[in-house]
Every structure is written in C-alpha cells, then in structure tokens.
C-alpha cells in the first residue's frame, strides 16, 4: 500500500492512533496548555522525560515510549535543536529521522502535532510542505528487484498531520499539492534506479508515452531513423554503437493558451560506458543514473498536469546508450550537428553534451520562452560543489535568478558558475567549428556549459548539472541510498513561481 498523508484537525487528547509525535526545541522545553493536559493523561510521561533529561530535544533526537492508553500505543518526542538555528533543511532532517525511526519500530501509522513546530520563523505553508516532503521522501524504498525476506520489509501506511480547526482546509490543499511533488520525486527515483538492461531508451520512451496517455499530455517520439534523417549527427554518433536504439520523446503540457512554452530538456543516457574511451570499472558502475535528467523531465510534466499549473511546458527526453562497438564514434571524428555547427570529438565519454547539442537545437522549433536543460553532465561538478549542490549556468541572468530562487524554496540547492567569454577559447578546434571538451581537465563544468550554449542561439537558456546531486552513496536524511530525484522539486517550483 502506498503511503497516505492527510491533514485533519483534532483535539490532542482525542487523537486515536498508533503513535503521536510532539516536537520540541532544545531551548524551549515548556509544555503548552494542551500538551500539559494531555501529559496528565499519560502519567506525566513527557514532563518526566524532560525533567530527568531523558529527552533533551537535540536536533534529530527521537524519544519514544509506550503509553498504556486506550487511544494510543506510543508517544514520540522529536528534537528540533536550538530555535535560533532552525531552518527548513533541519526541519526535513528531523522529520526524516523521526519517520525512519518509527518505521523501524514497525509503527504503521502516526500523527504529527503540527503546532509543536511553531517558533519565531514559523511559516504555515512551508513548514507543512517540508514535513510532508520529508515523510514521503525519507520513507521511500526500492524493493522491486528483491525476492527474499519481503515480509520483513517495514512500511508506514499513513501519516496524519494534526492542525487547528480553522487551518484544516488550507492544510488539505497544501497536502494534496505537496503529495504530487513527492510522488514525482519518488517515481523519478524508481525510474532512475531501474537497471540499464531493463530501462533502455525505448523502455523510457514507452514509459513517457504511458504517462502522457494517463495525464492528457501530447506525446511524440522520434526513433533512430528519424533522428538520422533530421541530421542529428552528434546525437546519433553517441547512440549508434548500441543495440538499444535511441529515442527522443516530447511531452507537451498546455496550461496557458498559446503562450510560448518553457522547454525542459533532459539528458537520458540509459547507460554510459564511456564509449571507446571506456570508463574504469569503479567509475562505470552506477552509470544507469545518467538518464536522470530525462526521468525528472517526465515526472515534472506529469506533475504539471496534475497540478494544472498555468504555463505551457514541453519536456524533451533525449534517450541513448553510450556503448562500445566497432561502429562507435571516437576521438578525432568530426560531426555535423543538427544546428549546422561542426564538432570535433575529443573524448567519447563527453557524450551527454553531444546528445544535448542536438536536442537543444531541436527545442528551438517550439519558439521557447525559455529552455532549461537538466543533465548528469560532468563528474567535475562533484569536485566543484560536492554532492549537495548543483551548478547552474545560463545565458540570461533573469532566468538563472529564477532558478536560484526556486532552489531556495525547493531545497534542491544550486550555485551559479560563470561562462566568461574568454573561456570560449577552450573549445576552439583546429579542424572543426568547435570541439566538445578542452584538452585538459580545467573548468569541466563551465566548459560543458559553454559548449551547450553554442546550440541555443539567442533563446534564453539555463543548464543544471546534476552529475553530483543525482545519486546518494550514503543515506542522509530524506536522501535514501540511490537515485535522489534531485531537480524535480526545483523545476516544479521554478515553473510555478513564474
Ligand atoms: N555521465 C558522465 C558524468 C558523471 C560522472 C555523472 C560521474 C555522474 C557521476 C558524463 O557523461 C561524463 O562521463 N563526463 C566526463 C566528461 C569528460 C570526459 C570531459 C567527466 O565528467 O569525466
Ligand atoms: Mn560520459
Ligand atoms: Zn554521461
């Protein structure tokens, strides 16, 4: 059963559930009137554990106890740390720690007392939103390919959020909308986590087609013959060594009459071996995540339809597999891109930008108001900003600023890197118009951006490099080991803020 999250107004003394959750700040351990009278009904369990320092409300601390009450099995106290240091990231961490702890205790349903999160910086909407996101994202698990011990997998079925009576309607609307976000992230995680022998380009295109059918989106797909015929030599060069043929799909959502669309372009490499410049084994493993950009685009479009957002949005997924074969493209090849620009190949592992060059140029046919691409483009993004922040680059500051703003709201963090004009000499070629990488490893992220920039002409464009943020090696808060779904909340907040 999928996780259900609901908001309801209830008297704290009347909550009948497996567990009730009350949050505290380290520097404000007083019980309000309602909690104090509730505490009396459970033999002062809360005040006692505070008094004897059994619970100190340190950030992410979870203290639970069994209460012998008709209506309740457990009370859980959640620590939020110091009030002045608190923020939305910490809120998500705390609720994630809580959710996973309660799941570990096999508690299938719990109620969160929303009022207990109030503090000087409290904001109803963002607090509610982040609590829901944290619960839904942190309880994610990918078990599709497990066959053993499935009966031992613990699941939470329901999370209730207890709000005041006059906030109930407002809360229900926020819950419904936020669940669309959470579902979009988790479905993106599922698709990215799907192994590369299953999730080949055609599989992902068919998946997108099904999403389109269910949500009333327009769907188009171009196969290898059509891509070839269109003259997408850069895209086809990457794709042609694989038996799993490329697919470029286009999803169209219409929510604002005949306004020019915002086009989202996702890199969709279902596997990246590196090509003839093969990756060493420890760098190749996990390269199924190289399709994450396209996977996010699919679910952002689905969410646009579900939320009925007021914008026209087109999503393009450029699917291919970068394989090794006798007909593979190789360094020194010169290819004519869809835009007409000729490209000298330097390194077959810089394949994402080759595919995107043609997909971006193709996107111009929709006369976009703005183009945003999302791509696992570089390992250099890991060096530049680490696993928690994605580089963003673009040719229009206003557009980049909107993405930065959405990043702050969504908590999918970005940091802008520049594309100085004089760095364009890094992609100067002796034989073709440009080369796709520089011959050294300096400024890897920026060079990726500068290369892509050549193909969008004068359209407003931004590029989000999710090479680092796409995958969680270790579990951390709501980031579960595996695909993170980074960028989905970011793009949705970006589209909705416009
Ligand atoms: N898909 C990779 C980038 C990547 C690396 C994503 C690690 C996630 C984790 C991309 O196609 C790639 O191989 N980039 C090369 C570019 C280089 C050859 C210029 C890289 O970053 O090493
Ligand atoms: Mn590569
Ligand atoms: Zn790649």
User: What pLDDT does residue 13 have?
Assistant: 83
The mean per-residue pLDDT over the stretch 316-328 comes to: 98
Which of residues 144, 177, 210 is at a domain's end? 177
DSSP codes, 434-453: EESS-SS-TTHHHHHHHHHH
Is the model's pLDDT at 441 over the cut of 90? Answer: no
Angle between helices 124-138 and 168-193 (to 10 degrees): 30
Cα 370 from Cα 190, distance rounded (Å): 28
Contacts of residue 26, Cβ cutoff 8 Å, sequence gap at least 6: 56, 57, 58, 59, 79, 80, 81, 82, 83
Whether 202 maps to a domain, the answer reads yes
146 and 200 in a single domain? The answer is no
Q: Which helix (H) or strand (E) holds 312?
A: strand 312-322
* pLDDT, position 265: 99
Same domain membership, residue 460 and residue 315: yes
CA proximity to 335, closest of 425, 423, 455, 218:
455
The pLDDT of residue 9: 95
Same domain for 225 and 165, yes or no, is no
Do 261 and 408 share a structural domain? Answer: yes
At 2, the pLDDT band (50, 70, 90 cuts) reads confident
Residues 389 and 491 in one domain: yes
Question: Which ligand 1 atom is nearest residue 352's CA?
Answer: 11
> What CATH number has the domain bearing residue 482?
3.40.630.10
Same domain for 204 and 120, yes or no, is: no
The reply to whether 130 falls in a domain is: yes
Asked if residue 295 and residue 256 are part of one domain, the reply reads yes
**Residue at 477 is within a domain:** yes
Centre of ligand 2 to C-alpha 374, Å, is 15
Pocket test for ligand 1, best of 318, 351, 378 (most atoms within 8 A of CB): 378
**Mean pLDDT of all residues in 264-283:** 98
Considering the domain boundaries, does residue 152 fall inside one? yes
* Per-residue confidence (pLDDT) for residue 70, from 0 to 100: 83
Whether 23 is covered by a domain: the verdict is yes
Question: How many A from CA of 264 to the centre of ligand 2?
Answer: 21
Rg for the chain, CA atoms, rounded: 25
| pLDDT tier, 1 (very low <50, low <70, confident <90, very high otherwise) | low
Question: Is the domain of 129 the same as that of 263?
Answer: no
pLDDT in tens, 9-19: 998 888 889 99
**What residues have CB less than 8 Å from 192, skipping those under 6 apart?**
288, 289, 291, 292, 295, 470, 482, 483, 485
Please tell me what DSSP assigns to residue 138. Answer: H
State which ligand 1 atom lies nearest to the alpha carbon of 470. Answer: 8
The rounded Å distance from CA 269 to ligand 1 centre is 11
The reply to whether 109 and 149 lie within a common domain is yes
Q: Taking all residues of the chain, what is their mean pLDDT, rounded to a whole number?
A: 97
pLDDT single digits (tens) 14-66: 888 999 999 999 999 999 999 999 999 999 999 999 999 999 999 999 999 99
Q: What's the whole-number mean pLDDT along residues 288-317? A: 98
The 8 Å CB, 24+ separation contacts for 403-409 are 403/372, 403/462, 403/464, 403/490, 403/494, 405/497, 406/490, 406/491, 406/493, 406/494, 406/497, 407/490, 409/126, 409/493, 409/497
User: What pLDDT does residue 418 have?
Assistant: 98
- Does residue 453 have a pLDDT over 60? yes
**Residues 205 and 147 placed together within one structural domain of the fold:** no
CA 99 to CA 135: how far, in whole Å? Answer: 6
CA 351 to ligand 1: nearest atom: 11
Q: Are residues 80 and 120 in the same domain?
A: yes
Q: Any idea which residues carry the catalytic annotation?
A: 279, 353
Position 188 in a domain: no
User: CATH number of the domain that 28 lies in?
Assistant: 3.40.220.10
pLDDT band at 497 (very low <50, low <70, confident <90, very high): confident
Co-location of 102 and 249 in the same domain: no
Looking at residue 250, its pLDDT comes to 99
Q: Give residue-wise pLDDT tens across range 369-421.
A: 999 999 999 999 999 999 999 999 999 999 999 999 999 999 999 999 999 99
Residue 183 lies in a domain: no
Return the ligand 1 atom nearest residue 378 CA: 21
How far does residue 226's CA lie from ligand 1's centre (Å)? 27
Ligand 1-lining residues (CB < 6 angstroms): 272, 290, 347, 349-352, 376, 378-380, 437, 444, 467
Coil/strand/helix, residue 261: coil
Q: Of 124, 142, 177, which residue sits at a domain end? A: 177
Q: What percent of the chain has pLDDT over 70?
A: 100
The number of the ligand nearest the C-alpha atom of 381 reads: 1
The whole domain housing 397 covers: 194-497
> Is residue 174 predicted with pLDDT exceeding 60?
yes
- Per-residue pLDDT tens over the stretch 101-159: 999 999 999 999 999 999 999 999 999 999 999 999 999 999 999 999 999 999 999 99
Q: Tell me which residue has tokens 């570089």.
A: 378
Q: Does the structure show a pLDDT above 70 at 89?
A: yes
**189 within some domain:** no
Closest-CA residue to 129 (of 177, 165, 78, 80): 177
Number of domains in the chain: 2
CB-based contact 272:279 (threshold 8 Å): yes
Largest CA distance in the chain: 82
With the most atoms of ligand 1 within 8 angstroms of its CB, the residue from 330, 467, 468 to mutate is 467
Nearest to 339 by CA among 455, 239, 460, 237: 455
Looking at residue 439, its pLDDT comes to: 84
Nearest ligand to the CA atom of 379: 1
The 10s digit of each residue's pLDDT in 197-221 is 999 999 999 999 999 999 999 999 9
For residues 363 and 316, is the Cβ–Cβ distance under 8 A?
A: yes
State in Å: Cα 271 to ligand 2 middle.
9
């Amino acid at each position: 059963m999928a996780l259900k999250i609901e908001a309801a107004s209830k008297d704290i003394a009347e909550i009948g559930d497996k567990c009730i959750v009350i949050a505290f700040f380290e520097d404000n351990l007083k019980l309000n009137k309602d909690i104090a009278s509730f505490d009396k009904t459970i033999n002062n369990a809360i005040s006692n554990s505070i008094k004897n320092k059994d619970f100190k409300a340190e950030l992410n601390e979870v203290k639970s106890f069994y209460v012998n009450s008709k209506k309740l099995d457990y009370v859980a106290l959640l620590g939020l740390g110091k009030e002045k240091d608190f923020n939305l990231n910490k809120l998500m961490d705390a609720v994630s720690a809580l959710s996973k702890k309660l799941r570990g205790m096999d508690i299938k349903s719990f109620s969160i007392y929303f009022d207990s999160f109030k503090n000087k910086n409290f904001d109803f909407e963002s607090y509610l939103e982040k609590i829901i996101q944290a619960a839904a994202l942190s309880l994610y698990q990918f078990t599709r390919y497990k066959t053993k011990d499935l009966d031992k997998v613990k699941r939470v079925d329901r999370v209730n959020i207890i709000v005041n009576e006059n906030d109930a309607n407002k809360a229900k609307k926020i819950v419904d909308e936020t669940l669309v976000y959470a579902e979009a992230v988790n479905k993106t995680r599922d698709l990215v986590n799907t192994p590369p022998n299953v999730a080949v380009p055609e599989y992902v295109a068919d998946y997108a087609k099904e999403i389109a059918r269910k949500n009333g989106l327009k769907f188009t797909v171009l196969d290898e013959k059509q891509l070839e015929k269109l003259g997408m030599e850069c895209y086809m060069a990457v794709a042609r060594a694989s038996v799993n043929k490329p697919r470029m799909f286009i999803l169209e959502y219409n929510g604002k009459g005949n306004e020019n669309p915002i086009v989202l372009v996702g890199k969709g490499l279902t596997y990246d071996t590196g090509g003839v410049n093969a990756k060493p084994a420890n760098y190749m493993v996990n390269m199924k995540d190289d399709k994450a950009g396209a996977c996010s685009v699919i679910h952002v479009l689905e969410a646009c339809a579900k939320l009925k957002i007021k914008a026209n949005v087109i999503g393009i997924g450029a699917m291919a597999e970068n394989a090794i074969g006798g007909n593979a493209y190789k360094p020194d090849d010169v290819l004519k891109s869809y835009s007409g620009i000729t490209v000298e190949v330097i390194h077959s592992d810089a394949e994402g930008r080759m595919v995107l060059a043609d997909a971006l140029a193709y996107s111009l046919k929709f006369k976009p108001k703005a183009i945003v691409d999302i791509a696992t483009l570089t390992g250099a993004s890991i060096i530049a900003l680490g696993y928690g922040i994605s580089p963003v680059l673009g040719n229009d500051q206003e557009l980049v600023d909107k993405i930065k703003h959405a990043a702050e709201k969504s908590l999918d963090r970005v940091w802008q890197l520049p594309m100085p004009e004089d760095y364009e000499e890094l992609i100067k070629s002796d034989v073709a118009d440009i080369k796709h990488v520089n011959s050294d490893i300096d400024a890897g992220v920026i060079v990726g951006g500068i290369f892509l920039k050549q193909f969008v002409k004068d359209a407003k464009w931004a590029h989000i490099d999710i090479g680092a943020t796409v995958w969680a090696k270790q579990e951390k808060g709501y980031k579960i080991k595996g695909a993170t779904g980074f960028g989905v909340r970011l793009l949705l907040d970006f589209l909705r803020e416009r």
